[in-house]
Amino acid sequence: MRVLLNSAAYRIAFGYSLAFALATLLLGLAVHYAAHAAFVRQIDASIDQATTGVMAEFRDDGLRGVIEAVRQRENGGPVSLGYAIFDRRGRRIAGELNTTMPPLGWHPINFVDPQEGLDPARAKATALGPSHRLVVAADLEPLERIDGTILTMFGIAFAALLLFGVTGALLLGAYLRRKLARIDDTARAIVAGELSRRMAIGPRLDEFDRVGDSINAMLDRISGLLANLRQVTSDLAHDLRTPLARLRNQLERLGDDMANDDRRETIYAAVESTDDVLKLFDAILRISELEEGSLKRGFSNLDLGGLVEEIAESHLALAEDSGKSLSVLIEDGDNMVQGDRELIAQALINLIENALRHTPRGAAIGISVQSDPGDIAMVVRDNGPGIPETHHARVLERFVRLEASRSTPGHGLGLSLVQAVARAHGASLALRDCKPGLEVALHFPRVRTG
């Protein structure tokens, strides 16, 4: 029920069919009243006509003529009219209309029908001279039957309309929901990172197809702009490398020629600064290269366990020097993955560097390779301050550095590069807030053997 109420498609369809049914009901009532009034007018006209006829006899032949005329009419006139003549004391002296004497003028009365008992009727009482009274009445039963028929017909029509309306609303609602759900699913997939997904366009080019088409055009434009942004970034990095390298080489020459030790030191420090910028550019270009995704050629089967052990071992001294402990755990089993040794090494080094950089002295960093049936995970976990879950998506973006790490060195590309390496290998990157500490895991797909 909640689904029905919460859905705009259902609400619109239901509302529309309800309004339609109500309009039908109103129309029915109007028809009913108009027909009823017309019928009453027709009855009144025939009562008037009969009364005039009988009164004409009264003027010609007096009371006797009236009684004779009533008797004749009852035997041969229209059956629906009944007649009665009352004397001054209200006693019926002629006519078969079995009722008590009504006052003069138009009145609804009840009479006793020989077959059906008490029946409602419409009656007109007219004075016959000073003492007697003529009553002409019409049985209302046919009117009631017509009223009933009209009401029944419209009632059935109303019910049928409601039924059709609800069925139609359910079908239309389901159809709209299905159409919209497809758009929604695609949009969500795109938000989740499947940037290449597009809306399905049907052959009919209906409104949904046109919306889908516009959304696709918009997505293409956004992709184009993103690609453009990346292109500009990597072009910039690429084009600035050459003049920077020249600057670096000139500085180095200058340093070599410098006799003054202090100045030479300053110049070498400048050389190192340019090296840092060059390294940053290299990282940007490497990420671009990975994102283009044309690297598979260099991929081979490699033992992730051995590689992780090798890299971790090379970092033991580094961790020790910064007062942190580094432990390695390689789970037994088949740890073969498809990939580029240096790229995976780079990803792991970035994760270790991150862990070393963002934890206080005394922190413990655990590196492991976990062999699961579905995948092989390379995991780096620390017990430092960690990253709150709300920031997990953000830290993977390029150049993003959280407020807490502004004071530490780095350029905010480390995790982006890890992410790019993961994508190039079809691996998924998962961040977990271990409270305390951060766990980053790269899940590599298992190499299919045989």
Partner 1 sequence: MRILIAEDDREMAEFVGRGLSELGHNVVTARNGTDALHLGATEDFDLLILDRMMPGADGLSIVRRLRAANIATPTLMLTALGRIEDRVDGLEAGADDYLVKPFAFSELAARVHALGRRAKPQAVTTKLAAGPIQMDLLSREVRRDGQLVLLQPREFRVLEELMRHAGEFVTRTMLLERVWDFHFDPQTKIVETHISRLRSKLNEGDLPDRIETVRGVGYRIRAE
Which residues bind to partner 1, rule: CB under 8 A? 241-242, 244-246, 248-249, 252-253, 255, 268, 271-272, 275, 278-279, 282-283, 285-286, 289, 294-295, 297-298, 313-315, 317-318, 321, 340-343, 345-346, 349-350, 352-353
| CB contact set of 280 (below 8 Å; sequence gap of 6+) | 237, 411, 413
Packed helices 261-292 and 414-424: angle between N→C axes, nearest 10 degrees:
30
Amino acid at 202: G
Q: Which is nearer to partner 1, 49 or 249 (CB)?
A: 249
Smallest gap from residue 173 Cβ to partner 1 (A) = 54
C-beta of residue 183 within 8 angstroms of C-beta of residue 211: yes
Nearest distance in Å: CB 332, partner 1: 23
Minimum distance between the CB of residue 379 and partner 1, rounded to whole angstroms? Answer: 19
Nearer to partner 1, 167 or 314 (CB): 314
Beta carbon nearer to partner 1, 154 or 281: 281
Based on CB atoms, which residue is closest to partner 1, 188 or 253? 253
Smaller CB separation from partner 1, 144 or 342: 342
Q: Which is nearer to partner 1, 95 or 414 (CB)?
A: 414
Nearer residue to partner 1 within complex by CB, 206 or 342? 342
Residue whose CB is less far from partner 1, 64 or 279: 279
How far apart CA 293 and CA 343 sit, in angstroms, is 13
Minimum CB distance to partner 1, residue 390 (Å): 28
Q: Which is nearer to partner 1, 134 or 308 (CB)?
A: 308
- Residue 258 CB, nearest approach to partner 1 (Å): 12
**Nearer Cβ to partner 1 (132/286):** 286
Shortest reach from residue 340's CB to partner 1, in Å: 7
What is the SS3 assignment for the chain? CHHHHHCHHHHHHHHHHHHHHHHHHHHHHHHHHHHHHHHHHHHHHHHHHHHHHHHHHHHHHHHHHHHHHHHHHHHHCCCCEEEEEECCCCCEEECCCCCCCCCCEEEEEEEEECCCEEEEEEEEEEEECCCEEEEEEEECHHHHHHHHHHHHHHHHHHHHHHHHHHHHHHHHHHHHHHHHHHHHHHHHHHHCCCCCCCCCCCCCCCHHHHHHHHHHHHHHHHHHHHHHHHHHHHHHHHHHHHHHHHHHHHHHHHHHHCCCHHHHHHHHHHHHHHHHHHHHHHHHHHHHHHHHCCCHHHCEEEEHHHHHHHHHHHCHHHHHHCCCEEEEEECCCCCEEEECHHHHHHHHHHHHHHHHHCCCCCCEEEEEEEECCCEEEEEEEECCCCCCHHHHHHHCCCCCCCHHHCCCCCCCCHHHHHHHHHHHCCCEEEEEECCCCEEEEEEEECCCCC
Q: Shortest gap between Cβ of 381 and partner 1 (angstroms)? A: 19
Tell me the closest approach of the beta carbon of residue 314 to partner 1, in angstroms: 5
Whether the bond between 360 and the residue before it is cis, its omega within 30 degrees of 0, is no
Query: Which one, 16 or 268, has the nearer CB to partner 1?
Result: 268
Smallest gap, in angstroms, from Cβ of residue 268 to partner 1?
A: 4
CB of 183 to partner 1, least distance (A): 39
Q: What are phi and psi of 301, to 5 degrees?
A: -75, 130
Q: Give the nearest distance from C-beta 278 to partner 1 in angstroms.
A: 8
> How many residues comprise the chain?
450
